[in-house]
A and B are shown apart, each in its own frame.
Chain A
Amino acid sequence: MKTARPLLRQVGILVAVALFSITGLGAQGVQKLLEGSEEIRADIIPIDSMRVFGRLERPEVVFLHDKHTDAIEKQNKDCQACHQMENNRLVPKFKRLKDTDKQAVMDIYHTNCIGCHKETSATGKKAGPIETCGECHPKKNLLISSRQPISFDHSLHYRHAEANKDQRTNKGDCALCHHEYNEKTKKLFYAKEKEGSCRYCHKKTTEENRSSMKLASHDACIDCHRKKVAVKIESGPVKCMGCHDHEMQKKIEKIEVVPRMERKQPDFVLIRVKTPGPNKEGPSFRMNPAPFNHKAHETYNNTCIVCHHESLQSCVQCHTSEGAKEGKFIKLESAMHLKAKEQSCLGCHETNQRKPECAACHAFLAKDRRPESTTCQLCHMNPLSGVSKNIAQDERQIAEMLLNSRKTKVLTYNAEDIPEKVVIKALSEKYEAVELPHRKIIHTLLNNIKDSKLAGYYHSDQGTICQGCHHNSPVAKKPPNCGSCHGKPFDESNAFRPGLMGAFHQQCMGCHQVLKLVKPTSTGCTDCHKLKRV
């Protein structure tokens, strides 16, 4: 009796706690949901300038930049109402050029913000907070930023180049944006035909002598746009939303066919690793060099940094055959073949295979498969007769010759050699035999890729397209039946091979799913099979 009583008491307490947590916590959750009225905007700038002086005393200010720009416009004031000028350029900091000391910066914000709010509200207009601290320094931010980074693609680049063309000479003024830094004179200068992406120098954070990408772009872009607008020339956005709002980005004009950017870049390249020959006389090559159509690839991508991620040099500069520090020890072989990296040839081609028209077949190919050795030679082409293996001639000419010798049209067997219908009757039990519209399927697959140069080159062999379904067997005009390999399911000696019914369903349904076909549906048995009449 003596031990039972405390036990009873513990159970009682537990039950009470459980009841409270179920009812009490549930109610709290609901309340939280009702409170959260969040607004989504692209112009949210958190003001945490005081962070350079140590820990923030109050939560950071959630500042809506466009809201203020609009209000100031209405008062016929411009950016200089809040930002000062230095070297004829706006300084992004508020009402100051430098962060001097804690008290001074804090005073600048408090006197100017509250002062302006007071002035505005005195005229009877709606204005920002004046009295309570928490209105500017909220403990919980109920705003969600929808800020989208903007991509300065080929189309935008072309439009900027056009807009800044000299009317008389009809030449662009690249120096307006592109520059390099001279370490000795500590000045910016323009290096003709050395132009690169801003990101090569302007990194994520501000470093010595170079501002962060964020700062540099806001500094240069907005300043230029603002000056043009001031003299009534059509120009780019000045407000946050103009560049960073998703909807506004969609409205930015796109040039479909962008003329080539001229920077004396090569049209054709012969990618190869040079190693000294056996007798150390003249270069010899481990592999046949791979000709590369640089000019064509420029049009396949939106920016140069897709491939040239660190600088606009040739790949071999950093990615040497043995790997070097500049190339993070990634060998040229890896740089070209790593499927996981989008900058690599195979990585980018693999990404292209995710398009539905390619994925219909390619989705079924294992990610880690080793390509057949014959496919290596599609890129590492055999040198043409007449071109010696010791390439001493103009490499670019050779590359062009090799590329021009390529066939880039999808080919297959003659229509009469392709069976029109294939009747699958091996499994017929509940349903009638299935009539597969064999020729129609092939023609649909061919039709889907007929405009792709990439697909064209790799499928120029007659039997390649057949391999999409007739996999794991040698290429042939009459490949083996599906039943030659696929039989009864769960064969222990061939554990990885599906049975015949599984193979059919996986292949057919998988492909239909990738192509997003409405019919036949996977669960609509009678879409493909006719019910057997008993």
Chain B
Amino acid sequence: MSISRRKFIGWMSAAGLGATFGKSAHAAANKQFKGYPDSVGVLFDNVLCIGCRNCEAGCNKVNELPPPSQPFDDLSVLAKKRRTSSKAYTVVNRYENTHSKKSPIFRKIQCNHCLEPACASACFVRAFTKTKEGAVVYDASVCVGCRYCMIACPFEIPAYEYDEPLTPRIRKCTMCHPRVIEGKLPGCVEACPTESLTFGKRKDLINIARERIKKFPDRYVDHIYGEHEMGGTNWLYLSGAPYKEIGMREDLGTVPAPELTAGVLGAVPIVVGLWPVLLTGVYAMTKRKEQIAQKEKEQAVFHALQKADAAAQLKLSEALTKAQKEKEVAIQKEVKKALAEVQKVQKEEGS
């Protein structure tokens, strides 16, 4: 059996397409990703946090961010419910303790570095990468600025440089990925004086957190936030008050974001890619249809005209022959009449 060149190329491309889409669907549907082994993270224990903002200062320093509007030793800002911004990758907010008024509870906010990040799954240019060290990092060079990641993030973390007219970027905590690779601590962890931030392998952090709950059951809520939330995060939390009371979402479930949206988001590149082709095709087809219709119309008119012409000719010729006949008949009649008259005259002359 011989295969033509064209057929062979066709088969190959079909196999390639099948492999790509088939694989992605398989990954989303089957099992849960438990995170890279030995990936690192940070455990934030708000029972030990004193709300000194040293972590904010440490983050600012190592990331070379612009100075804040209020200096880091001004603790009055803690009362405001602040969010992370393109100029502050981490913020600490103060919450009232419903159990004891005098000891408020502090909550540190920064990127949680999900095991399966929603931002990365929403990004169609793959600007986000979940590194094997645990951090979710961003590559500005491929970013198109669609800000899908900001919408996708359930923790409302990525921030956009709206004041950057030419090259705006998404900004968020990187868990100090470059420093971690060098063997250094993240800026905030290094700056924390009370070790309310513990740096280590995620699996160790979970053990440490469990141990603390076990040792001091009166002090902690029996839950490690981030162990399972959104499929798990590399940043983990221990709290002395219910997480809901300190503004942390308890409705997120344990399913990672990509799994929820894999079907829809998986279709996005195809739709986006195919759109121009589809539209052009539709345009071309309509255009062609119009042309054909025009041609057909012309032809139809032409035929109609021809038809009408022929009919008229026929009618004319019929009329002509009829007239001819009538003429001939009339002539004959006249001839007969004349002949009869001639005969009548001859008879009268003869008699």
Contacting pair B193 A501 (CB below 8 A): yes
Contacting pair B195 A502 (CB below 8 A): yes
> Which residues of A lie under 8 Å from residue B192 when comparing CB positions?
502
Partner of A509, one of B50, B75, B211: B50
B49 (CB) vs chain A CBs: closest residue? A522
The stretch from B139-147, B162-170, B200-208, B293-301 touching chain A is B200-208
> Which residues of A lie under 8 Å from residue B201 when comparing CB positions?
492
Partner of B215, one of A366, A501, A509, A513: A366
Partner of B195, one of A495, A506, A525: A506
> Which residues of B lie under 8 Å from residue A496 when comparing CB positions?
208, 211
Partner of A501, one of B195, B204, B214: B195
Residue-wise interface mask of A (491-510) relative to B, using a CB-CB cutoff of 8 A (1 in contact, 0 not): 01001101101110110010
Separation of A492 and B211 alpha carbons in the complex (Å) = 15
> Which residues of A lie under 8 Å from residue B215 when comparing CB positions?
366-369
> Which residues of A lie under 8 Å from residue B51 when comparing CB positions?
523
Contacting pair A523 B185 (CB below 8 A): no
Contacting pair A492 B50 (CB below 8 A): no
Contacting pair B200 A495 (CB below 8 A): yes
Separation of A369 and B200 alpha carbons in the complex (Å) = 25
Separation of A496 and B216 alpha carbons in the complex (Å) = 14
Separation of A495 and B200 alpha carbons in the complex (Å) = 9
Q: Does B199 contact A (CB under 8 A)?
A: yes
A-side interface mostly: loop
Contacting pair B218 A495 (CB below 8 A): no
Given the known interface contacts A495-B204, A496-B211, the answer about A489 and B216 at a Cβ–Cβ threshold of 8 Å is no
> Which residues of B lie under 8 Å from residue A516 when comparing CB positions?
102
Q: Does B194 contact A (CB under 8 A)?
A: yes
| Shortest distance between the CB of B88 and any CB in chain A (Å) | 19
| Shortest distance between the CB of A509 and any CB in chain B (Å) | 6
Interface residue ranges of A503-534 to B (CB < 8 Å):
503, 505-506, 509, 513, 516, 522-523, 525
B211 (CB) vs chain A CBs: closest residue? A496
| Shortest distance between the CB of B176 and any CB in chain A (Å) | 14
Given the known interface contacts A492-B200, A495-B208, the answer about A367 and B193 at a Cβ–Cβ threshold of 8 Å is no
Contacting pair A367 B216 (CB below 8 A): yes
Q: Does A181 contact B (CB under 8 A)?
A: no
Contacting pair B52 A490 (CB below 8 A): no
Given the known interface contacts A367-B216, A502-B195, the answer about A523 and B200 at a Cβ–Cβ threshold of 8 Å is no
Interface residue ranges of A456-512 to B (CB < 8 Å):
489-490, 492, 495-496, 498-499, 501-503, 505-506, 509
> Which residues of B lie under 8 Å from residue A522 when comparing CB positions?
50, 52
Separation of A499 and B192 alpha carbons in the complex (Å) = 11
B40 (CB) vs chain A CBs: closest residue? A490
> Which residues of A lie under 8 Å from residue B194 when comparing CB positions?
502, 505-506, 509
Given the known interface contacts A496-B211, A523-B52, the answer about A367 and B217 at a Cβ–Cβ threshold of 8 Å is yes
Separation of A516 and B208 alpha carbons in the complex (Å) = 28
Q: Does B48 contact A (CB under 8 A)?
A: yes
Q: Does B112 contact A (CB under 8 A)?
A: no
> Which residues of B lie under 8 Å from residue A505 when comparing CB positions?
193-195
> Which residues of B lie under 8 Å from residue A489 when comparing CB positions?
195, 198-199
Q: Does B317 contact A (CB under 8 A)?
A: no
Interface residue ranges of B176-213 to A (CB < 8 Å):
185, 192-195, 198-201, 204, 207-208, 211
> Which residues of A lie under 8 Å from residue B218 when comparing CB positions?
367
Contacting pair A490 B50 (CB below 8 A): no
Separation of A498 and B218 alpha carbons in the complex (Å) = 20
> Which residues of A lie under 8 Å from residue B185 when comparing CB positions?
490
Given the known interface contacts A509-B50, A513-B103, A523-B51, the answer about A366 and B207 at a Cβ–Cβ threshold of 8 Å is no
B103 (CB) vs chain A CBs: closest residue? A513
Interface residue ranges of A11-66 to B (CB < 8 Å):
none
Interface residue ranges of A418-454 to B (CB < 8 Å):
none
> Which residues of A lie under 8 Å from residue B103 when comparing CB positions?
513
Contacting pair B216 A366 (CB below 8 A): yes
Interface residue ranges of A356-390 to B (CB < 8 Å):
366-369
Contacting pair A492 B204 (CB below 8 A): yes
Contacting pair A499 B195 (CB below 8 A): yes
Separation of A506 and B195 alpha carbons in the complex (Å) = 8
Residue-wise interface mask of B (206-234) relative to A, using a CB-CB cutoff of 8 A (1 in contact, 0 not): 01100100111110000000000000000
Separation of A503 and B193 alpha carbons in the complex (Å) = 9
| Shortest distance between the CB of B105 and any CB in chain A (Å) | 13
Contacting pair A490 B198 (CB below 8 A): yes
> Which residues of B lie under 8 Å from residue A490 when comparing CB positions?
185, 198-200
| Shortest distance between the CB of B214 and any CB in chain A (Å) | 6
> Which residues of B lie under 8 Å from residue A502 when comparing CB positions?
192-195
> Which residues of B lie under 8 Å from residue A369 when comparing CB positions?
215
Separation of A369 and B216 alpha carbons in the complex (Å) = 10
Contacting pair B198 A523 (CB below 8 A): no
Separation of A369 and B195 alpha carbons in the complex (Å) = 23
Interface residue ranges of B291-333 to A (CB < 8 Å):
none
> Which residues of A lie under 8 Å from residue B48 when comparing CB positions?
506
Contacting pair B207 A523 (CB below 8 A): no
A367 (CB) vs chain B CBs: closest residue? B217
Residue-wise interface mask of B (129-167) relative to A, using a CB-CB cutoff of 8 A (1 in contact, 0 not): 000000000000000000000000000000000000000
Separation of A496 and B217 alpha carbons in the complex (Å) = 16
| Shortest distance between the CB of A431 and any CB in chain B (Å) | 11
Interface residue ranges of A314-373 to B (CB < 8 Å):
366-369
| Shortest distance between the CB of A493 and any CB in chain B (Å) | 11
A523 (CB) vs chain B CBs: closest residue? B52
Separation of A369 and B201 alpha carbons in the complex (Å) = 26
> Which residues of A lie under 8 Å from residue B217 when comparing CB positions?
367
Separation of A502 and B54 alpha carbons in the complex (Å) = 14
Contacting pair A368 B214 (CB below 8 A): yes
Separation of A516 and B218 alpha carbons in the complex (Å) = 19
| Shortest distance between the CB of A487 and any CB in chain B (Å) | 13
| Shortest distance between the CB of A225 and any CB in chain B (Å) | 39
> Which residues of A lie under 8 Å from residue B200 when comparing CB positions?
490, 492, 495
| Shortest distance between the CB of B101 and any CB in chain A (Å) | 12
> Which residues of B lie under 8 Å from residue A525 when comparing CB positions?
52
> Which residues of A lie under 8 Å from residue B195 when comparing CB positions?
489, 498-499, 501-503, 505-506
A501 (CB) vs chain B CBs: closest residue? B193
B195 (CB) vs chain A CBs: closest residue? A502
| Shortest distance between the CB of B38 and any CB in chain A (Å) | 11
Given the known interface contacts A501-B195, A506-B194, A509-B194, the answer about A523 and B204 at a Cβ–Cβ threshold of 8 Å is no
Contacting pair B75 A523 (CB below 8 A): yes
> Which residues of B lie under 8 Å from residue A492 when comparing CB positions?
200-201, 204
A→B interface (CB under 8 Å): 366-369, 489-490, 492, 495-496, 498-499, 501-503, 505-506, 509, 513, 516, 522-523, 525
Q: A368-B215, A495-B208, A502-B194 are in contact. List 13 more A-B contacts (CB 8 A).
A: A367-B217, A368-B214, A369-B215, A489-B198, A492-B201, A495-B204, A495-B207, A496-B211, A502-B192, A506-B48, A506-B195, A516-B102, A522-B52
Q: Top 7 closest A-B pairs, CB basis?
A: A502-B195, A366-B215, A522-B50, A505-B194, A523-B52, A490-B199, A498-B195
17 A/B residue pairs, CB under 8 Å, sorted by A: A367-B216, A369-B215, A489-B195, A490-B199, A492-B200, A492-B201, A495-B207, A496-B208, A498-B195, A501-B193, A502-B192, A505-B195, A513-B103, A516-B102, A523-B50, A523-B52, A525-B52
